[in-house]
A and B are shown apart, each in its own frame.
Chain A
Amino acid sequence: MSRSTVKTEITGKVWKVTATKGQRLAEDDPIVILESMKMEIPVPAPLDCTVVEILVAEGDSVTEGDVIAHIES
């Protein structure tokens, strides 16, 4: 098992947190959904993984490159 981080690709505001700690995700499943460029933009799991920790909450502002979650694969 290796642990890695998930980063945002875009600056915006956290609109929804869709995954929970301990949840199994398939590649491209959304972890959170950001509101940016007037769009609802998911931050997807980069690969099949388990969510270890989610570091943001709804309403938070994030900048491109911020770590939003730790995952294990």
Chain B
Amino acid sequence: MPFDKERADFEARAKRAKAMGSPTRLAERKAAGILNARERVERLVDKDTFIEAGLFATSIKPDVREKSPGDGVVSGFGKISGRMAGVNAADFTTLGSSSAEVHGKKQYYVRETCRKNGMPMVSLMECAGGRIPDIMGAAGIGRAGEGARYTHTRETPWASAVLGLTYGGGAFTCINSDFVVMRKGAVLAVSSQMVTSVAIAEEANPEDLGGWRLHSEQTGFVHAVVDSDEDAIAQLKAFLSYLPDNANQAPPIAPAIEPVAVALDTLVPESRAKTYDVRPVIKAILDKDTYFPLKERFAKVAVTALGRINGRTVGIVASNPMFKGGALDPDACDKITSFIVLCDSFNIPLIFLADTPGFLVGAESEKKRLPGKIMNFMAALELSTVPKIALVLRKSYGQAYLNMGGGRSDVTASWFSGDISFMDPAVAVNVVYAVKPGEDPARYEQLLTQVSSGTTAYELAAPFMAQMVIDPNDTRRFLSGMLDVLTRRMTNGVGTHRLADWPPAF
């Protein structure tokens, strides 16, 4: 055969590169049930669609070339559920998938190819941090900082998985992403405990530095938590299924599946003092099995979820009275702000479901910079250009009414049970008239009736500040119809993306 010698050499080189790093480490991972980089890519992309870039890349250092196949990352392009995407999968068995010159160039190449060609990018991350000695010295850190490699300007969706120890550059890639799923047992942090123990004499364990509980419950950096690599890959695919390939497209339309019929008025207590879980309400509105919550364990008072109504992707923002009575706190503001940025950047209509006594007032909230966070939230809302529907379920008071889209959406609507005002009528009687229920019950009741009379949904509808008042049981039909109206036909559903350059982490 022609080129026999060259072919044999090519195949031997490819085999060596695809074998990745230390066989011992590969065996250890297998025993622990953790996939290696190539197994992960295999499960992520459709069969026989992967085109690898940089298979024969190695470390820039001549003495390290032999032990740096691919320079610690498997990069390329492949179809995910039939749609082309870029992929970078960290190979931790090769020098801990540490950040170094060629390692970074490969990832940047995939990223830029995705940006120029309007494709999503997926990062399957593990990273020991910056590679030493490559990054040491002025020239080392100087090379690491060249070019604008960190900024995500949301031309295309980025989705990442934290699948092991992920420090430094690997962590930053995840933080910059529109969606981050984390496997339990993985760690995401700026530096490992080896560095922190020396730098600040802190002997923190990796879980405390950046485990799944920290990031799903306290920092809110992680959108979903899973138990296995396979589950993480399933989550990445699910997330991307709701999004367009790039910011210049409307999201894909899926077949519509009717949810199990539930009378929504049975899910919400009539008494405004009673709490309930808003998630069953959301599920009853969305197409069957399309509820995809983001950051479910963080700032639980706010629900942010992707889903579909009649096949169209929507972003749901809801206050959840089950937690903190639905009073929106500083973390909830951050969570909603970043969700608005995501939806607006990728042309996903927003639906706000409000049942809130207001923002959570008090010293703790003020210490956590509540006023600034309310205004970040409001700025995101007012700068967004996607279709917005604001629906009051039961009550919506004060600035929170405005932040939950009241009066600044394409349509403001209310269930007939809506109660809308500057503050809860019971609080208003105390504040305005200084009358407490225990002191003068008759006078208190009289004033409460008086103050409450101006707070109904019809009082909002009369001056056309609400365009519709609806029966709770008509919610899905109403939303589906209005989404059909609000499709931005003049631009094929594509907005102006004034939030695309906003920071990645609030």
Where the two chains meet, the residues of A that have a C-beta atom closer than 8 Å to any C-beta of B are 9-11, 36-42, 63-65
**In the assembled complex, which residues on chain B have CB atoms less than 8 Å from the CB atom of A63?**
364
A-B contact pairs, 13 of them (CB 8 A): A9-B324, A10-B324, A10-B327, A11-B362, A11-B363, A37-B357, A37-B358, A37-B424, A38-B357, A38-B424, A39-B321, A40-B273, A40-B275
Do B275 and A39 touch across chains, with their CB atoms under 8 A apart?
Answer: yes
Q: Which residue of A lies closest to B430 (CB)?
A: A38
Instruction: Knowing that A38-B427, A64-B364 touch, tell me 4 more A-B residue pairs with CB under 8 angstroms.
Output: A36-B325, A38-B357, A40-B273, A41-B324
A41 near B364: Cβ-Cβ < 8 Å = no
The listed residue with most B CB atoms (<10 A of its CB), out of A10, A36, A37, is: A37
**B323 interface contact, C-beta 8 A:** yes
Interface size class of B (residues with CB under 8 A): 20 to 34
Question: How long is the Cα–Cα vector from A42 to B273 in the complex, in angstroms?
Answer: 12
Q: Residue B129 at the A interface, CB < 8 A?
A: no
| A11 contact set on B, CB distance < 8 A | 362-364
Using CB atoms, name the residue of chain A closest to B365: A64
Shortest Cβ distance from residue A50 to the other chain B in the assembled complex, whole angstroms? 21
B469 at the interface (CB under 8 A from A): no
Q: Is B274 an interface residue (CB 8 A)?
A: yes
Q: Cα distance A37–B327 when bound, in Å?
A: 8
Q: Report the Cα distance A65→B218, complex, angstroms.
A: 13
Closest to A39 in B: B325
Nearest chain A residue, comparing its CB with the CB of B425: A38
Q: Which among A38, A40, A42, A65 is the interface contact of B364 at CB below 8 angstroms? A: A65
Q: Considering the chains assembled together, what is the distance between the CA atoms of A40 and B326 in angstroms? A: 11
> CA–CA, A65 to B426, complex, Å?
26
Instruction: Please report which residues of chain B, range 354-368, place their CB below 8 angstroms from some CB of chain A when the two chains form the complex.
Output: 357-358, 360, 362-364
Q: Which residue of A lies closest to B274 (CB)?
A: A40
Q: Which residues of A contact B358 (CB under 8 A)?
A: 37
What's the least CB distance linking B279 to chain A, in Å? Answer: 12
Contact B275 A38 (CB under 8 A): no
Instruction: Determine if B364 and A39 form an interchain contact, defined as CB atoms under 8 angstroms apart.
Output: no
Interface residues as binary, B323-357 with A (CB distance below 8 Å gives 1, 0 otherwise) = 11111000000000000000000000000000001
Contact of B360 among A37, A38, A40, A42 (CB under 8 A): A37
CB neighbours of B362 from chain A (8 A): 11, 64
Return chain A residues, CB-CB under 8 Å to B357: 37-39
Taken together as a complex, chains A and B put the C-alpha atoms of A11 and B364 apart, in Å, by 9
Q: Is the interface of B mostly helix, strand, loop or mixed?
A: loop
Nearest-CB distance from A41 to chain B (Å)? 4
- Point out the residue from A9, A64, A65 that lies within 8 Å of B323, measured CB to CB: A9
Closest CB in chain B relative to A21 CB, distance in Å: 25
Kindly state the separation between the CA atoms of A38 and B324 in the bound complex, as whole angstroms: 11
CB distance from B52 to the nearest CB of A (A): 44
Shortest CB–CB separation between residue B366 and chain A, in angstroms? 12
Residue of A at shortest CB range from B364? A64
| Separation of A15 and B364 alpha carbons in the complex (Å) | 21
Contacts of B324 in A (CB 8 A): 9-10, 36-37, 41
With A and B bound together, what is the CA distance between A9 and B363 in angstroms? 13
Q: Which residue of B lies closest to A9 (CB)?
A: B324
Once the chains are docked, how many angstroms separate the CA of A39 from the CA of B363? 19
Q: Which 9 residue pairs spanning A and B have beta carbons closest together?
A: A39-B325, A37-B357, A41-B325, A64-B364, A38-B424, A37-B327, A10-B324, A37-B325, A11-B362
State whether A39 touches B360 (Cβ < 8 A).
no
Map CB proximity to A onto B301-333 as digits: 1 under 8 Å, 0 otherwise: 000000000000000000001111111000000
CA distance A36 to B321 in the complex (A): 12
Is there contact, CB below 8 Å, between B426 and A10? no
* Residue in B272, B360, B363 whose beta carbon sits within 8 Å of that of A10 in the complex: B360
Q: B448 to chain A: closest CB distance in Å?
A: 11
Which chain A residue shows the least CB distance to B357? A37
B residues in contact with A64, CB < 8 Å: 362, 364
Contact flag A39-B323 (CB < 8 Å), given A10-B360, A11-B362, A64-B364: no
B36 CB to closest chain A CB, in angstroms? 33
CA distance A30 to B178 in the complex (A): 34
> 0/1 per residue, B264-286, Cβ < 8 Å to A?
00000000111100000000000
Q: How far is the CB of B267 from chain A (nearest CB, A)?
A: 16
List residues of chain B with CB within 8 A of the CB of A40: 273-275, 325
CB neighbours (8 Å) of B321 from chain A are: 39
Residues of B within 8 A of A42 (CB): 275, 322
CB pair B326 A39 closer than 8 Å:
yes
Q: Which of A10, A39, A42, A65 has the most CB of B within 10 A?
A: A39
B364 to chain A: which residues have CB within 8 Å? 11, 63-65
Asked if B275 and A41 sit within 8 Å, CB to CB, the answer is yes
Nearest CB in chain A: distance from B277 CB, A = 9
**Could you say which of B322, B327, B424 has the most chain A C-beta atoms within 10 Å of its C-beta?**
B327
Identity of the chain A residue whose Cβ is nearest the Cβ of B327 in the assembled complex: A37
Q: A36, A40, A41, A65 — which one has the most chain B CB atoms within 10 A of its CB?
A: A41
Inter-chain contacts of B274 with A (CB < 8 A): 39-40
**Is B426 touching A38 in the complex (CB atoms < 8 A)?**
yes
Q: Which B residues are in CB contact (< 8 Å) with A10?
A: 324-325, 327, 360
Complex contacts, B323 vs chain A, CB 8 Å: 9
